[in-house]
Chain A
Amino acid sequence: SQQGEEDPQALSIQEGENATMNCSYKTSINNLQWYRQNSGRGLVHLILIRSNEREKHSGRLRVTLDTSKKSSSLLITASRAADTASYFCATDPFGNEKLTFGTGTRLTIIP
Chain B
Amino acid sequence: SQTIHQWPATLVQPVGSPLSLECTVEGTSNPNLYWYRQAAGRGLQLLFYSVGIGQISSEVPQNLSASRPQDRQFILSSKKLLLSDSGFYLCAIYDAVNYGYTFGSGTRLTVV
A residues bordering B, Cβ < 8 Å?
A: 2, 4, 31, 33, 35, 40-45, 48, 88, 90, 97-104
Contacts and interface: CB of A to CB of B under 8 A. Distances in A.
Contacts of B100: 33, 35, 45, 48
A31 B101 CA distance: 13
A43 B6 CA distance: 13
A101 B44 contact: yes
B98 A48 contact: yes
A29 to B, nearest CB: 13
Nearest to A45: B100
B43 interface: yes
B65 interface: no
A5 to B, nearest CB: 9
A97 B31 CA distance: 12
Max count, chain B CB within 10 A of own CB: residue among A43, A45, A88: A43
Given A48-B98, A97-B32, A98-B49, A42 B90 contact: yes
Between A97, A99, A100, the greatest number of chain B beta carbons within 10 A of the residue's beta carbon is seen for A97
A45 B98 contact: yes
B46 to A, nearest CB: 6
A3 to B, nearest CB: 9
A102 B106 CA distance: 18
A42 B105 CA distance: 4
